[in-house]
Amino acid sequence: MINRSVCRFLPQTFDKILIANRGEIACRVIKTCKKMGIKTVAVHSDVDSSAVHVKMADEAVCVGPAPTNKSYLNMDAIMDAIRATGAQAVHPGYGFLSENKEFAKRLAAEDVTFIGPDTHAIQAMGDKIESKLIAKAAQVNTIPGFDGVVKTAEEAVKIAQDIGYPVMIKASAGGGGKGMRISWNDEETREGFRFSSQEAASSFGDDRLLIEKYIDNPRHIEIQVLADKHGNALWLNERECSIQRRNQKVVEEAPSTFLDPTTRRAMGEQAVQLAKAVQYSSAGTVEFLVDSNRNFYFLEMNTRLQVEHPITECITGLDLVEQMIRVAKGYQLKHKQEDIPINGWAIESRVYAEDPYKSFGLPSIGRLSQYQEPINLSKVRVDSGIQEGSDISIYYDPMISKLVTYGATRAEALARMEDALDNYVIRGVTHNIPLLREIITHPRFISGDISTNFLPEVYPDGFKGHQLEADKRRELLASAAALYITTQLRSQKVLGSLRVPSSPIECNHWELCVELGEGHHSMEVTKSGNVYTVEVDGGKVEVSGQWNLASPLLPLTINGTDRMLQFKLRVLSKLAAELNSYMPEKVPEDTSSILRSPMPGTVVAVSVKPGDTVAEGQEICVIEAMKMQNSLTASTPQCAVHYVPHSPHSHTFIH
Amino acid sequence: AVRARPPLAPVKHGAVAAAVPQTNLRRDCRWYSVSHLSVKERIDKKRTAALVGGGQKRIDAQHKRGKLTARERVELLLDPESFVESDMFVEHRCSDFGMEQDSNKVTGRTHASDLCNIMDQAMTVGAPVIGLNDSGGARIQEGVESLAGYADIFLRNVLASGVVPQISLIMGPCAGGAVYSPALTDFTFMVKDTSYLFITGPDVVKSVTNEDVTQEELGGAKTHTTVSGVAHHAFENDVEALLNMREFFNFLPLSNQDPAPIRESHDPSDRLVPSLDTIVPFETTKAYDMLDIIQTIVDERDFFEIMPNYAKNIVVGFARMNGRTVGIVGNQPKVASGCLDINSSVKGARFVRFCDAFNIPIITFVDVPGFLPGTAQEYGGIIRHGAKLLYAFAEATVPKITVITRKAYGGAYDVMSSKHLRGDVNYAWPSAEVAVMGAKGAVQIIFRGKENQAEAEAEYVEKFANPFPAAVRGFVDDIIEPSTTRKKICRDLEVLASKKQVNPWKKHANIPL
């Protein structure tokens, strides 16, 4: 009853929607459903039984054990859940079954609405080869490449040679950058073929591949389209998604700094032509590669809601999930192309549980022992499906959240993003916030001079963390010293009745030493009132703040500037630091003869057996984690294999 | 950090005076006397000499070994200037033997008497005793006198036990009779790679039992913190150990006459912890980490774990709730399902008794499937050792708050600070299962050989594997939302602060040792 009254201005759509997904996107869809007065059904694997999306939904059904092919990809179980709950429609989110035509067919057979495009559009666009043919026919610019099925490695090599290196190899059925490999020679093509076909088989049950010309130094810019079942289609402007690592997006923004209105319009119109060519309905994304001369080439069309859709929502004011639900119910689009604005600027950072110091991000797992989103800040949107205490497991995508900030200008949105990243508290897993912050404050990014090669170009030796300038370092050191003294002074504040009267020694001058990286910094601190004055590295810093020693966030005023700090530094008194210099360095155990997986995962293939002698660089085994396959190779020349793992999940062994 | 507290009396095993080689002093003295220095000047000279200790050469030698000198250790342990060394002018009597004098060896009667003086004083004023041990054992040359010296110290340790907290920090070899002093104290901490504790060293071991063993294997920090359970914590080096000691000291009351200290707290006492609502897995067989629960409930995630690497199926340690020191005991489902066995029972019992002796409230988190079965345990005397934990909880008169997070089965339920053992407040989470045993085992016994075991099991779960049977009988006071646990415990501790409970008069109790 309440729902009805809330939504009396919204058109009647569905009574109950099942969301065939998990994590942030499931939560995202549920939010709009709630707004529209629609009841929601969550599905979940057994390990997700207390996940946020399960708690948010009105009903929840367990569809199987943790591995995705037994739960979130388990169509039988999901169909059962639909029948059991009487859901009238299914929103698939992204990934999983979102672009699975078989699933869409089965829903149609049972008269359940699939909130997405029709089966034929999924089929046409889901197949990378077919989609290019259709795009060509619809007069959309396409990349030179091979449109066909590749059966053997040698065939792949021949095709690659015909197109001319570099080429890109990926699974036909796969979306996004997953499973995409770039090859510069025949050897890499063979390897790429092997990995891509294996990944294609394990993720999609379809080992067809696509090989095409690889455009060097491109930008990845995509157009959001929205179409209804009555032949109307709109383009909702672009999203710039060039900041990628291993072909997965990290930072996105809308609009793009690179497009001029003419190019934008041309891209938008071609995207709409393509949508119309396949009688597309619902929200979809047409991805383009844009070269430095603003030539754009059709890459693929994603027939689903895209991860980075929030930034489009921010600048257009549309709720894409709401539009998808309306369209699925058969309503006409409410908007005309001229109604679609670009209001301000929006940036999205994908916050991942991964170690940014290893290849810009290798998955890490663990329990979020502390977790606090910066949602108290204005014009910040956080789409997440986890909370404090949630586990990031090897089974699913390691994304923690999508952090979106917006503002009237790009500079404003960027400033907010910096603030939001500083206010984000994540403990228990390694996360990529240091990298995100580094990207959005990098001069090249700020100037808009980016391409998909941004990360490897800016950090050719990998990301090494933020390099502090002298004054910033002083500020950090001074804050650490002030925090240390505050903590020490607090220990003196023993409450209650002490047998011996407490008379803290009045002291307002300290000599300390802070360890930062490899360096030690001596400093002198004086306190007067609430202000600490710290002399360090030849400079003077004044620090004051409301010290809450229980909070992971430390809002401080440093030399008159407000800053939000989170850090962990070792501070020693002068005496302790002096004595510490006598302490012996403990030599870590020599582990060079042990091959350790860089991340937790499942061993999917072992290429050696005990007793084998392997050469440096030879593949030992293949680890799969979060749908990525990684080859582990021997690091020392000429060694014998002593032990190989037998069971999946084991991830260390000696050779 | 300890500035606001009255000065503690450090027991300087090998008080710095020991470091002054007799010969130098004598020569200096002689020199002073011919120079006709005033008495004050002579005192000053001597004081300087004492401060330098065994001379720069010896200091360097000690540093080379990765160790600090006794004086440096004491300086770091205490705040600068808060420490006045007693008996600075006591000279070592035994250096005439020409033995290599280590600057920090407990080497004889003289020092034993130093120690005894200090310990007597500590007990008189009610101040904790911290011993920094670095001793090679009895000096054979000193003969029976050194044995007497040990015994004098042991007696003080025993008399001070339960009166003032006693902590030993082992910072070098500690062999022979000397080991019994740390063994008698409440907590023994070790420094990795440089400290050893053993009755007899590897050479003697070899000659007696023909075993080849290194010092490290025989009595290093790793051995004692993981295998023997002799030591309660190991630290990387001297500096780490001493800084941690200061942190640790802040948890402790000064004596058995003092309340548990309350530090200013910035962590709201009514803070809700939503993550606890989902921490216990849906499947009762699945493990979770009890440390996650403890850390989110206590102030500022600050938990000083005692024996973190020994008998890991039970977690014990100190934390604060709304600023007040509490002792935490929790079964650890992650290790051996959190069952109670010989080692975990003894570990828990000793900790509980320390808390009780020093007025520290005890918070117990229960997820225990029972006592570990098997011949190893029975032959080892699990009955006797398990009884220790039962005994300790039962005799404790400090505030006792218990939270049953999941399993509380059988006798182990009784043991873990149950209502029946005078638990003041006993809570159950909705996931709690208070029963004689798990469903599967129970059904196998009750319905032995019968069919429909699965059905019976489901019925058992419905009837017994939940907190209700215990709640209706008053064995748990309330079934609470896990997220409110911190708030409730903080409030209860306020109320229980004035708890007074006295056990019947006795000369002393007779715990099943």
Which pLDDT tens digit goes with each residue over A579-623?
998 998 887 766 667 777 776 777 777 878 777 777 777 778 877
Contacts of A508 (CB under 8 A, 6+ apart): A526, A527, A528
Residue A10 pLDDT: 59
Chain B: residue whose CA lies nearest to A484: B1
Residue A39 pLDDT: 96
Mean pLDDT for B496-507 is 95
- Tokens 């070592």, located at residue: B92
Residue A621 pLDDT: 80
Residue in B80, B238, B292 nearest the CB of A583? B238
Whether the per-residue pLDDT at B84 is higher than 80: the answer is no
Q: Do A389 and B264 touch (CB under 8 A)?
A: no
Cα B404 to Cα A450: distance, rounded to the nearest angstrom: 56
Q: Do A575 and B283 touch (CB under 8 A)?
A: no
Cα B320 to Cα A536: distance, rounded to the nearest angstrom: 34
Positive/negative CA dihedral, A235, A238, A241, A247: positive
Residue A154 pLDDT: 87
Confidence of residue B357 (pLDDT cuts 50, 70, 90): very high
Percent residues over pLDDT 90 in chain B: 55
Chain B: residue whose CA lies nearest to A498: B258
Residue A637 pLDDT: 61
Mean pLDDT for B459-474 is 86
Q: Is B357 a residue of the active site?
A: no
Residue in B2, B250, B266 nearest the CB of A550? B266
Q: How far apart are the first and last CA of chain B?
A: 37
CA-to-CA dists, residue A569 to A468, A476, B28, angstroms: 15, 9, 47
Of the listed B50, B178, B392, B412, which one is catalytic? B412
Residue B20 pLDDT: 28
Chain A: residue whose CA lies nearest to B72: A579
Residue A650 pLDDT: 40
Q: Pick the range with the lowest mean pLDDT from A62-76, A291-305, B113-127, B266-280.
A: B113-127
Residue in A370, A390, A491 nearest the CB of B263? A491
Residue A523, min C-alpha distance to chain B (Å): 18
Which is higher by pLDDT, B245 or B84?
B245
Confidence of residue B96 (pLDDT cuts 50, 70, 90): very low
Q: Do B282 and A46 touch (CB under 8 A)?
A: yes
Own/partner pairs, B198-201, CB within 8 angstroms, 24+ separation: B199/B175, B200/B175, B200/B176, B201/B175
Mean pLDDT for A350-368 is 89
Neighboring chain B residues of A387 at a CB cutoff of 8 Å: 274-275
Of the listed B176, B317, B330, B348, which one is catalytic? B176
Chain B: residue whose CA lies nearest to A51: B278
Residue B7 pLDDT: 41
Residue B479, min C-alpha distance to chain A (Å): 20
Mean pLDDT for B8-34 is 34
Q: Give the residue from A7, A77, A12, A82 showing the smallest Cα distance to A40.
A: A82
Strongest mean pLDDT among A194-208, A282-296, A495-509, B359-373: B359-373
Mean pLDDT of chain A: 87
Give phi and psi for B343, each to the nearest 5. -65, -45
Cα B171 to Cα B62: distance, rounded to the nearest angstrom: 12
Whether the per-residue pLDDT at B49 is higher than 90: the answer is no
Q: Pick the range with the lowest mean pLDDT from A1-10, A29-38, A149-158, B419-428.
A: A1-10
Of the listed B411, B441, B458, B471, which one is catalytic? B411
Neighboring chain A residues of B250 at a CB cutoff of 8 Å: 491
Of the listed A22, A106, A219, A304, which one is catalytic? A304
Residue A101 tokens read as 């035509």
Contact A510, A486 (CB under 8 A): no
Residue A644 pLDDT: 55
Residue A642 pLDDT: 61
Whether the per-residue pLDDT at B10 is higher than 60: the answer is no
Residue A199 tokens read as 């990944």
- The pTM is what? 0.82
Residue A508 pLDDT: 81
Residue A7 pLDDT: 46
Q: Do A495 and B264 touch (CB under 8 A)?
A: yes
Q: Do B4 and A389 touch (CB under 8 A)?
A: no
Confidence of residue A641 (pLDDT cuts 50, 70, 90): low
ipTM of the complex: 0.82
Residue B137 pLDDT: 60
Percent residues over pLDDT 90 in chain A: 56
Residue A2 pLDDT: 43
Which is higher by pLDDT, B55 or B492?
B492
Q: Pick the range with the lowest mean pLDDT from A65-74, A258-267, A611-620.
A: A611-620
Q: Do A490 and B264 touch (CB under 8 A)?
A: yes
Whether the per-residue pLDDT at B353 is higher than 70: the answer is yes
Residue in A388, A493, A579 nearest the CB of B76? A579
Residue A325 tokens read as 């639900």
Confidence of residue B36 (pLDDT cuts 50, 70, 90): low
Residue among B68, B132, B264, B429 with most chain A CBs within 10 A, to mutate: B264
Residue A364, min C-alpha distance to chain B (Å): 18
Q: Do B266 and A49 touch (CB under 8 A)?
A: no
Residue B281, min C-alpha distance to chain A (Å): 8
Q: Pick the range with the lowest mean pLDDT from A159-168, A243-252, B72-81.
A: B72-81
Whether the per-residue pLDDT at B399 is higher than 80: the answer is yes
Residue among A429, A489, A583 with most chain B CBs within 10 A, to mutate: A583
Whether the per-residue pLDDT at B62 is higher than 80: the answer is yes
Residue B445 tokens read as 């016994």
DSSP 3-state of A490: helix
Helix axes A101-109, A119-126, angle to 10 degrees: 170
Whether the per-residue pLDDT at B44 is higher than 80: the answer is no
Confidence of residue A78 (pLDDT cuts 50, 70, 90): very high
Q: Is B175 a residue of the active site?
A: no
Cα A70 to Cα B450: distance, rounded to the nearest angstrom: 35
Mean pLDDT for A21-29 is 96
- The pLDDT tens digits for B224-270 are 999 999 999 999 999 999 999 988 988 999 899 989 889 889 999 99
Whether the per-residue pLDDT at A164 is higher than 90: the answer is no
Residue B81 pLDDT: 42
Residue A648 pLDDT: 41
Using only C-alpha atoms, chain A has a radius of gyration, in whole angstroms, of 27
Residue B19 pLDDT: 28
Residue A227 pLDDT: 96
Between CA A61 and CA A72, with CA A67 as vertex, the angle to 5 degrees is 40
Residue in A500, A504, A579 nearest the CB of B6? A500
Contacts of B270 (CB under 8 A, 6+ apart): B486, B487, B490
Whether the per-residue pLDDT at B380 is higher than 60: the answer is yes
Whether the per-residue pLDDT at B37 is higher than 70: the answer is no
Whether the per-residue pLDDT at A333 is higher than 50: the answer is yes
Q: Is A304 a residue of the active site?
A: yes
Which is higher by pLDDT, A445 or B121?
A445
Mean pLDDT for A49-64 is 94
Cα A472 to Cα A486: distance, rounded to the nearest angstrom: 21
What residue ranges in A70-208 does DSSP mark as E strands? 89-91, 113-114, 145-146, 167-171, 181-183
Residue A530 pLDDT: 87
- The pLDDT tens digits for B295-315 are 999 999 999 999 999 999 999
Residue in B1, B243, B283 nearest the CB of A491? B1
Whether the per-residue pLDDT at A47 is higher than 60: the answer is yes
Neighboring chain A residues of B75 at a CB cutoff of 8 Å: 575
Mean pLDDT for A255-263 is 95
